[in-house]
């Protein structure tokens, strides 16, 4: 959700007391966008572009994709995949509904890819959504872009010599999140439960909460070992050590905000108290301004 280059616009909009509207996002320079390929293992790569990180598994059974970026960079994504394999893209799994992870669905479906996701992804894409944190209106996705196979809990793919486990985590970044684990390759794609190196966006208008983010990260850490390679939703390729540090940050912020909220402070008062001040040097520079993160943590608390 949101690319780093949008942050100056976001900060400016907030300074002016404005909220972002969709046209602000449309101003992104798609022509200048690049897709970088990072090899994770022999048969698995990660594509890094303006949206969410894409996971690519290649091998005897064709291409298996995790997320498909913004639709505006679909040609570039396909170009990067072509360099890895000329086989057809048979399956695409969406980690959640945000359009920086599902924007390529329509084009991929039109060339025969089967789109799979948690049922909440299809429901939210079909209905259209408002992301309150950014005052952003997302219209309903065209029917061709919707996942055609949905699940409620978990599904396993047997592809390219691996067992690929996809499991839903209770409301975390949204209420339709999935984590994908390549059992043999020992690779995990976290979706947007994990923003490596910066405060994560939590979509409270789609049922997200910091509590759920922490619980989801714990489930990932339970199945990871020291050599697991971790593809985050955003940010560079990672490992369990870094994910643990991120988890500690989430817990610290959760505890501080919960304490202030329990004292009866309003969202504005909690933001003004700067509860993340000592963490901002490390986590507050990449993506989401600290004030917005704190507000989302507060909003997501029951
Ligand atoms: Zn997202």
Give the domain ranges of the chain: 4-240
What is the Å distance from ligand 1's center to 67 Cα?
11
What is the Å distance from ligand 1's center to 120 Cα?
13
What is the C-alpha separation between 208 and 40, in angstroms, rounded?
29
Q: Quick one: tokens of 258?
A: 């919960």
What is the Å distance from ligand 1's center to 191 Cα?
8
For residues 215 and 179, the answer to whether their CB atoms sit within 8 Å is no
Confidence band for 287, pLDDT divided at 50, 70 and 90: confident
What is the Å distance from ligand 1's center to 279 Cα?
22
pLDDT of residue 302: 80
Confidence band for 14, pLDDT divided at 50, 70 and 90: very low
What is the Å distance from ligand 1's center to 228 Cα?
23
For residues 211 and 200, the answer to whether their CB atoms sit within 8 Å is no
What is the Å distance from ligand 1's center to 10 Cα?
16
Whats the size of the chain, residue-wise? Answer: 302
Q: Which of 22-31, 266-275, 291-300 has the lowest mean pLDDT?
A: 22-31
Confidence band for 286, pLDDT divided at 50, 70 and 90: confident
pLDDT of residue 26: 45
What is the Å distance from ligand 1's center to 98 Cα?
5
Note if the pTM is more than 0.75. yes
- Residue whose tokens read 């405060």: 199
Q: What is the pLDDT of residues 134-160, one digit of tens each?
A: 889 999 999 999 999 999 999 999 999
What is the Å distance from ligand 1's center to 177 Cα?
9
What is the C-alpha separation between 141 and 127, in angstroms, rounded?
8
What is the Å distance from ligand 1's center to 192 Cα?
5
Q: Kindly state the percentage of the chain with pLDDT values over 90.
A: 87
What is the Å distance from ligand 1's center to 97 Cα?
7
What is the Å distance from ligand 1's center to 173 Cα?
7
Residue 11, SS3 per DSSP: helix
Annotation: CATH topology of 4-240: Metallo-beta-lactamase; Chain A (3.60.15)
What is the Å distance from ligand 1's center to 51 Cα?
9
Q: What is the pLDDT of residues 197-236, one digit of tens each?
A: 999 999 999 999 999 999 999 999 999 999 999 999 999 9
Q: Which of 26-30, 76-80, 177-181, 275-279 has the lowest mean pLDDT?
A: 26-30
Confidence band for 267, pLDDT divided at 50, 70 and 90: very high
Average pLDDT for the chain: 92
Q: Quick one: tokens of 146?
A: 């919707």
235 φ/ψ sector (left φ>0, alpha ψ -120 to 50, else beta)? left
What is the Å distance from ligand 1's center to 244 Cα?
20
């Amino acid at each position: 959700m949101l690319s780093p280059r949008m942050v100056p616009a976001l900060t400016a909009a907030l300074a002016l007391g404005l909220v972002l509207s969709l046209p602000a996002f449309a101003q992104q320079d798609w022509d200048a966008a690049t897709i970088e390929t990072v090899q994770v293992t022999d048969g698995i790569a990660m594509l890094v572009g303006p949206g969410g990180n894409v996971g690519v598994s290649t091998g005897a059974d064709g291409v298996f994709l995790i997320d498909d970026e913004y639709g505006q960079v679909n040609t570039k994504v396909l170009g990067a995949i072509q360099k890895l394999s000329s086989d057809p893209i048979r399956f695409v799994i969406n980690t959640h509904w945000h359009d920086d992870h599902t924007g390529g669905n329509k084009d991929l479906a039109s060339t025969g890819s089967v789109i799979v996701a948690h049922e909440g992804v299809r429901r939210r894409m079909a209905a259209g959504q408002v992301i309150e944190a950014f005052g952003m209106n997302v219209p309903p996705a065209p029917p061709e872009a919707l996942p055609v196979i949905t699940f409620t809990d978990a599904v396993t793919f047997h592809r390219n010599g691996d067992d690929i486990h996809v499991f839903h985590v209770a409301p975390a970044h949204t209420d339709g999140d999935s984590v994908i684990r390549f059992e043999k390759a020992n690779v995990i794609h976290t979706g947007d439960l994990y923003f490596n190196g910066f405060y994560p966006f939590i979509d409270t208008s789609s049922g997200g909460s910091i509590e759920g983010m922490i619980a989801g990260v714990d489930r990932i850490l339970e199945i990871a070992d020291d050599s697991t390679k971790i593809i985050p939703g955003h940010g560079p390729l990672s490992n369990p050590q870094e994910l643990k540090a991120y988890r500690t940050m989430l817990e610290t912020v959760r505890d501080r905000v919960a304490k202030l909220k329990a004292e009866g402070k309003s969202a504005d008062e909690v933001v003004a108290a700067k509860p993340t001040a000592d963490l901002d040097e490390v986590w507050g520079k990449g993506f989401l301004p600290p004030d917005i993160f704190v507000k989302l943590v507060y909003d997501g608390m029951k």
